[in-house]
Chain A
Amino acid sequence: MKDVVVIGGGPSGLAVSSELAKKEYDVVLLERNDELGGLLQQCIHDGFGTILFGESMSGPEFADIFTSRARDEGVEIKLEAYVKSVKKKGHHFNITTVTPGGIEELKAKSVVYAIGCRERNQFEIKIGGTRPAGVYTAGTVQRLVNLHGILPGKDVVILGGGDVGMIVARHLFLEGINSTLMVYPEEFFSGLPRNAQQCILDFDIPYRPRTIVRNILGDKKVKSVELVEVDEDWAPIKGTEERYSCDSVILSVGLVPYSEKLEDLGGKVDKNTSGPIVNEYFETTIDGVFSVGNLIQIFDYVDDAVKTSFIAADGVEKYLEKESEKNLGIKLKPGDNVMTVTPQRVDETTGEKFSAFFRPDIEKENPKIEILSGDDVLERHVKRYVRPSMLEEISISKDILSGEEEVIIDVR
């Protein structure tokens, strides 16, 4: 019987495995690919590690730090291991993996899901038209260009004004494609200002805010797209349709936590984050099952995603040592000006403070972040500036929660 099985060998999975191994637990890490590092392996741009290490490194460099840690701490690593099923049996879990070497059954006292997210595809954002060759997600393009040295096309439309889209736009520009156009429904780039400057503006890459790809056109290969301007609610404005020639469309329209697998086990999902509902240690609604990283919600910085691994490692320790006192079940909910809040639940009164992450729904200077019980303000935090593109973290005192059933985080 293993103490912990961690599913997913990206940065968060590596971090939680090494933390737990450091605490002398018997940890197995399962990764479906033939290498560790997850999505970071295809992120060859820099900007990783500024929060945790105070220096800017590339994705693979950042991942290497945690890969070495996991190896040094003695985590048992299994590559090319596809998790076929996880089943709860009494107080332990049976995990079935499929690998080119055969099937392996593992027994563990607890499981940490670190399976991250997947990219949203053309169907999830209801792009109309035909379905020809030439429509790719940004992740596919990164892997294509970095690993194979092949371009997706010559004339590219990138849909989505987030960080990934901007980084891919710059990358393709540098790798020598003919033309790029970036379109996005927001008024401003939804990614970090630093990326907008360094990836788009510095290279004079054309972009159109408040614009979406309404239809993809072309029989065998993408021939063009129908662009349309949208209003503040992202509703298309009639009469603004324009046909724009291109040979490929790259979708960078957001990431979705890969919570389906956890749902199969019976875990509950939060509609706002699309990730599992978790408590302050990122334990899901199933006892002994934790989740970390981008599975919980989409983080802007890998540094923040990895922070959840450190917190979850403490939670797993408590669970294994049977120290967790549970079932307070205080609900944490987003207020009117907040899109998402994690954790969604606070279970324990022990400890002084816990970290909560929230994504504001408004842009505001010097806002007050309020922890509310009904109309009563339990605690107030201040921030210099909030905007929807920046996930915020606050540290909430546990003692203010005692006796509460439901608490709201809002920006005022």
Chain B
Amino acid sequence: MRLNWKVERTLDEFPSDISFEVKDRVVFLEGKVKEYKDWVKIGSEIGDIDGVEGVVNDLECEGKELTGLEKVIDKSKGKEDVRIGKYDIVIVGGGIIGCALARELSKYEIEVALVEKEPDVSLGQSRANNGMVHPGLAPSRDSLKRSLNIKGNEMYEDLCEELNVPFERVGSLILITPRTMEEYKKYIPDPIYKFFLKYILPWIVKKKGDLNGVEDIEILRGAEIHEEEKNVTQDVLAAVKIPSTGIVDPYQLTIALFENAEKNGVDFYLETKVVDFVKRNHSVKGVITDKGTLKCEYIVNAAGLYSDFVAELGGAREFTIHPRKGVELLFDKRLNGWVDHCLAELKIPSHPTSKGGGINPTVHGNIIWGPTAEEIVDRNDTSVEREKIEEITERYSSIMPDFPKERFIRYFAGVRAATFTEDFVIRPAKWVKNFLHVAGIQSPGIASVPAIADFSIEQLKDMGLKLKKNKSFDGTRSSIDRTAEMDKEVLERKIEEDSRRGNIVCTCEMVSEAEIIEAMKRGADSFDAIKRRTRAGMGECQESYCLLRISEIISREMDVPLNEVRKECKDSEFFDGVVRGEEL
């Protein structure tokens, strides 16, 4: 009853006519708002209430059509009668979370399947982020985010070593500058303002980190800061150094998890859409897809941006996703050396549309600026507005004013699958017996990955899953050998074995034909899938040299005409028909 009262009080602040219902700590909102930003704001304020475990936001928005289940999922496409498998566990969603959990489950003697609507893994927010492995300083103390972030971060070396994925613990610097509390500056005399920023605030930040369980935090001042990070702004007053921050290539890691899970017996159903569930007595008995039905004992909802719809289909609707877009700007590898740590400028209060964000190195030697944060209606919308590019270069250049910010080579956007409680939602569904949510994963999702997988398994055990170790589990995975990283002797030998190793098709990233073929052997059948596995096309010319050359190889290897080579999914074929008067 107390919760009801709190919700009521919160809604009183809004003029609109909104009704609500609370069920098992989940708040269902109904009614109408004028603008989308109100839709987000009301949801967020309800989500903020202590004790609320989920917000289902069914508010309508005047003049804006919000994405509903029926718009995304076409139940009539379901092939319930076609049985394609029987599993102990079916995971919905092939992002980094689904793949990590699949691999973790493959350590046990159970039958696991993963269903993904796209033709490859990692095609949602898992591929479109800056690859930062956060230290665990930002989340609030009592959040699930905090504990899983701290634990996950510690597990990174082992995981990446096993899977042969590059990971670097570069550390991060949180910079305190005269701009840090600009809004309060006018109320405080300058010497006191500066003194507070230089001597008090760093301790507050450090204290928060210490209490969160982040280790070895240091405070730097004066020349120490530039010794750590030579190009950082001259007016920096203090820096909080966190050594445990790391960087990883998020889609490479996802692909590695996928490959290793598959090797250990997980069945992956790619380009397979979940359209419904077979339900009986408050539990799910099977997953109906557009390819057929998979019977199962347990369901894991790791559907990211679509996890609320998957939940709804399963009768486990406990939250609504409010998509939040982030734009990133990627810079030329030749600027490698400009940035050594993950850098962020502390702003209090935080920027309304970009909490956090900053300048990071990447494991490939590029430098990445961003992300922004913008609430959007359409969760598919990964477009980048021209203005955002300027917004990013402007906002973060105060961190490093001399950085050659015109030398970016690409920009992209990802969409975070945020829930209104803004914490990870990893728990058994409240009203369905065998349905586990692993949802609401956003920053620091990458850092938390290994811990999320472990924690999810604990949840499954609590739900009754019996696990027996799989003795034949092999956690190692070989990566595709990169020509660019080979020393002379190795490369010489490799070319002798296969002359295609000496045919360099992407000259910016020095990727050979042999790597393209190897990626295809591992299942990549589109240009972008090959690109993510080999880095072909990721250099300064951005495919202008290799697009056609690699398409030629795909066409030859798959024995399809050139104009059937896909960029990514179905209906994304690159080229059109033949010239006048010709035939293929």
> Which residues of A approach B to under 8 Å, CB–CB?
32, 80, 82, 84, 96, 98-103, 118-119, 121-123, 126-134, 136-137, 139-140, 143-145, 148-154, 174-176, 214-215, 217, 219-221, 247-248, 260, 263-264
Contacts and interface: CB of A to CB of B under 8 A. Distances in A.
B408 interface: yes
A129 B381 CA distance: 9
7 contacts: A128-B385, A143-B548, A144-B575, A151-B575, A151-B576, A175-B579, A264-B334
Given A151-B576, A151-B578, A103 B566 contact: no
A221 B582 contact: no
Contacts of B548: 140, 143-144
A121 B383 contact: no
Given A150-B577, A176-B580, 19 more contacts: A100-B499, A101-B502, A102-B496, A102-B502, A103-B491, A118-B540, A118-B544, A126-B386, A131-B382, A133-B574, A140-B548, A144-B562, A148-B562, A149-B582, A150-B576, A150-B578, A175-B580, A214-B386, A260-B334
B579 A118 contact: no
A100 B544 contact: no
Contacts of A220: 567-572
Contacts of A119: 541, 544
A82 B544 contact: no
Contacts of B570: 220
Contacts of A121: 541-544
B495 A100 contact: yes
B569 A152 contact: no
Contacts of A248: 576
Nearest to A137: B544
B411 A123 contact: yes
Contact of B386 (A102, A128, A149, A151): A128
B572 A221 contact: yes
B154 to A, nearest CB: 36
Nearest to B386: A128
B380 A219 contact: yes
A298 B562 CA distance: 32
Interface of B: 332, 334, 380, 382-389, 408-412, 483, 488, 491-492, 495-496, 499-504, 507, 510, 512, 540-545, 547-548, 562-563, 566-582, 584
Contacts of B578: 149-151
A102 B507 CA distance: 17
| Most chain B CB neighbours (cut-off 10 Å) among A123, A151, A260 | A123
A303 B371 CA distance: 47
A102 B411 CA distance: 36
B479 to A, nearest CB: 20
Contacts of B380: 219
A173 to B, nearest CB: 10
A275 to B, nearest CB: 15
Given A80-B503, A98-B491, A130-B383, A145 B544 contact: no
A68 B18 CA distance: 82
Nearest to B575: A150
In the A-B complex, the 3 residue pairs with the smallest Cβ-Cβ separation, listed nearest first, are: A176-B580, A133-B567, A82-B504
A139 B545 CA distance: 8
A221 B566 CA distance: 10
Contacts of A96: 488
A301 to B, nearest CB: 23
A124 to B, nearest CB: 8
A247 B512 CA distance: 31
A297 to B, nearest CB: 18
B544 A139 contact: yes
Contact of A102 (B412, B495, B568): B495
- Identify whether the interface residues of A are mostly helix, strand, loop, or mixed: mixed
Contacts of A126: 386, 389
A139 B576 CA distance: 17
Nearest to A128: B386
Contacts of A143: 548
Contacts of B575: 144, 150-153
Contacts of A263: 334
A123 B383 contact: no
A326 B32 CA distance: 78
B547 A101 contact: no
Contacts of B410: 123
A10 to B, nearest CB: 14
B179 to A, nearest CB: 26
A102 B492 contact: yes
A340 B38 CA distance: 53
B499 to A, nearest CB: 4
A285 B20 CA distance: 72
Contacts of A148: 562
Contacts of B483: 98
Nearest to A171: B579
B507 A82 contact: yes
Contacts of B504: 32, 82, 98
A152 B573 CA distance: 10
A106 to B, nearest CB: 14
A84 B510 CA distance: 8
A122 B544 CA distance: 10
B567 A132 contact: yes
Nearest to B495: A102
Contact of B502 (A100, A133, A174, A264): A100
A359 B573 CA distance: 40
Nearest to B500: A100
Nearest to B385: A128
A129 B575 CA distance: 20
A13 B502 CA distance: 22
Contacts of B388: 128
Contacts of B385: 128, 215
Nearest to B571: A220
A129 B502 contact: no
Contacts of A176: 579-581
B185 to A, nearest CB: 33
A103 B383 contact: no
Contacts of A102: 492, 495-496, 502
B544 A99 contact: no
A103 B544 contact: no
A133 B566 contact: yes
Contacts of B545: 118
Contacts of B584: 150
Contacts of A175: 579-580
Contacts of A133: 566-568, 572-574
Contacts of B562: 144, 148, 150
Given A99-B502, A151-B579, A175-B580, A128 B383 contact: yes
A142 B143 CA distance: 56
A247 B576 contact: yes
Nearest to A263: B334
A260 B495 contact: no
A150 B563 contact: yes
Nearest to B388: A128
